[in-house]
Structure 1
Amino acid sequence: ADVIWALAATSLLVADAEGILEPYAPAGLERVDPKFRDQANPPHWVGTDVWMSAFCVNTEKMEELGLPIPASWADLTDPVYKNQIIMPNPNSSGTGFLSVSAFLQLFGEEEGWVYMDALHENIAQYTHSGSKPCALAAEGEVAIGISFDYRAISQKLDGDPILPVFPAEGSGWDMEANALVKKDEIKDAAKIFLDWAISDSAMREYIKAYGLTSVKVDTPPLEGFPADPLSQLIDNDFEWAAAHREEILKRWLSLYDSKSAPRD
């Protein structure tokens, strides 16, 4: 393979640390928001679109149980939600990892674990898919699924009783990103593809499923995304998340894996 396309930036950072990526500046790089690209010149990777954590709240289930709609991460630790929350396992889901990384960056490297201890008390199950918590919430298995923006919004648009909620403290996030693979001979077509991947035509396709792209385009996202998606994103230190990924996942498994769903 010559190209890595649409891999999570946090995973590309791991690949970069292993010397797998070849620096390349695609045509039009100056149009990319600096927040969404590697800071080296030429960059080792370039982002295209962002996905962020969101709650899928089943309004019918909430009404049935007499529960208040949560507005924040802090709200999810309220004992009234015991056994009514499902979230993804960060060891098998990028969406799960971006949420766990957000807890540690929002609340602090130790207080984040204190938060997860409290959240764990209310968790019914950890899934191995980032979208499944939203699907299970829509089915009424639980009241709240911690998932990601597009899934919450699309299920609401499909007619499910889902209210997308973006936590008041901010959403954890990651981005799909592209890179060249380091090898002796890289085909010209690989570079042409990466040029196209940050073009306006590509961005207009990405915005159909993502509320935020690395290059601004005149096509609006789906109704339901935050009015100012940039302000919803936490200050995410991708380098820190990549550097600590393995120890975070190992500690998470030791503490919370007892509630993980069986693997298919």
Structure 2
Amino acid sequence: MSIKPQFLQLLHKTAIITALAVAAGTTQAQPKTSLLVYTAIESDAMKAYKDGFEKAHPDVEIRWVRDSTGVITAKLLAEKNNPQADAVLGVAASSLALLSQEGMLVPYAPVGLKDLNPAYSDRAQPPAWVGMDVWGATVCFNTIEAKKLNLPKPESWKDLTKPIYKGQIVMPHPASSGTGYLDVTAWLQMFGETDGWKYMDALHQNIAQYTHSGSKPCTMAGTGEFPIGISFEFRAHQVKRSGAPVELIFPKEGLGWDVEASGIMKGTKNLEAAKNLVDWMTTKEANQISATWWAIVAYPGIAKKVEGIPENYEKLLVKNNDFNWSAKNRARILAEWGGRYNAKAEKK
């Protein structure tokens, strides 16, 4: 019995359609894993990290939830019994130490951990969080506005308590901003608690406003809204590079600092994808992205000279900065600080 050519063509078309349908079904059955990542990284950096990670892991898509460190920390703690995030990235180590103490992180040693400077990751084995980069306190000083007001250039934290600076200083609110919190905890650790609070009482007399962003004080100094802004070196460098008439001051007593870090949230339904993210954050490629903005990154030998940041910057950081102490005492410190100084907080 012979088969007509028209029938063979029909069979061939049917087979192609069936194959395409199967392929489409397979694609639909394997969608990208959507990874919900809470972050406090600067908006400038979000796209670079997302693009780099998704290029290395095309089967995973990052969905960001971004806010300042204090807000992200509060959000994570509020969600403790019903966690929403799969991972955190670029959140202060002092905050991640608190989450670890609350049992909210999955301890995990990423593939590239051995390549990183151990000083900038959790010392536990395996670590609850892994460092990305260091950010430290920097004072932005507008030379033009200071000259108009006949303000001398401060050299130290103690200088900022002099009466000549009354109403001329802005700094971040420690409950909202990781930068504000690293300032407060550094002063308490450097000067001792009694003298630390005395110092902040005196500084408060000269504060015009406590902002809810670590970047904003330097931005305000750059535009001349206030001549002095207590901020951090990333934003200080960016403001200076934009052409603003600011000098970067690194107070001689020492610089408060923290680490932007990554971790995995306990309860994630996307554990392997979250591990992939933390693995990737330890790579040379990810650290090269960090080095675009930061003078100190976790991967040794990657950081480049940043304009306006001194060569000995790392040596200026406060020694024995205890993130676990900062985490354990966070609620107490913020309650005390708020009771003393909240009257000058920026309105939300």
**The TM-score by the shorter chain falls in which range?**
over 0.9
Determine which structure has more spread, i.e. the larger CA radius of gyration.
2
1:22-171 correspondence to structure 2 within 5 Å:
22-171=106-255
Judging changes above 3 Å, is the alpha-carbon distance between structure 1 residues 158 and 190 closer, same or farther for their aligned structure 2 residues?
Answer: same
Question: How far apart are 1:36 and its partner, in Å?
Answer: 0.7
The partner residue of 1:197 within 276, 281, 290 is 281
Larger helix share, 1 or 2: 2
Give the match's secondary structure for 1:176: strand
The whole-number CA distance in structure 2 between the counterparts of 1:184 and 1:138 is 42
Structure 2 residues without counterparts, runs of 5 or longer: 1-84
Give the match's secondary structure for 2:327: helix
Equivalent pair of 2:177/2:212 in contact (CA under 8 Å): yes
Give the match's secondary structure for 1:41: coil
Q: 1:223-262 CA deviation, whole Å, 9 max, x = no partner? A: 1222122201102111111111111100111111111121
Equivalent pair of 1:208/1:221 in contact (CA under 8 Å): no
Question: How far apart are 1:186 and its partner, in Å?
Answer: 4.6
The amino acid across from 1:37 in the alignment is S
Does 1:262 find its partner at 2:347?
yes
Structure 1 residues without counterparts, runs of 5 or longer: none
Give the match's secondary structure for 1:22: coil
Equivalent pair of 1:51/1:175 in contact (CA under 8 Å): yes
Using the aligned pairs only, state the percent identity: 47
The partner residue of 1:243 within 318, 328, 335 is 328
The whole-number CA distance in structure 1 between the counterparts of 2:191 and 2:308 is 27
Counterpart of 1:172 in structure 2 is 256
The whole-number CA distance in structure 1 between the counterparts of 2:329 and 2:104 is 19
Does 1:21 find its partner at 2:21?
no
The whole-number CA distance in structure 1 between the counterparts of 2:94 and 2:300 is 22
Question: How far apart are 1:222 and its partner, in Å?
Answer: 2.4
* TM-score normalised according to structure 1 size: 0.96
The whole-number CA distance in structure 1 between the counterparts of 2:269 and 2:167 is 54
Q: 1:51-83 CA deviation, whole Å, 9 max, x = no partner? A: 111001000011111111111101101111111
The partner residue of 1:7 within 91, 97, 109 is 91
The whole-number CA distance in structure 1 between the counterparts of 2:277 and 2:181 is 29
The whole-number CA distance in structure 1 between the counterparts of 2:268 and 2:235 is 40
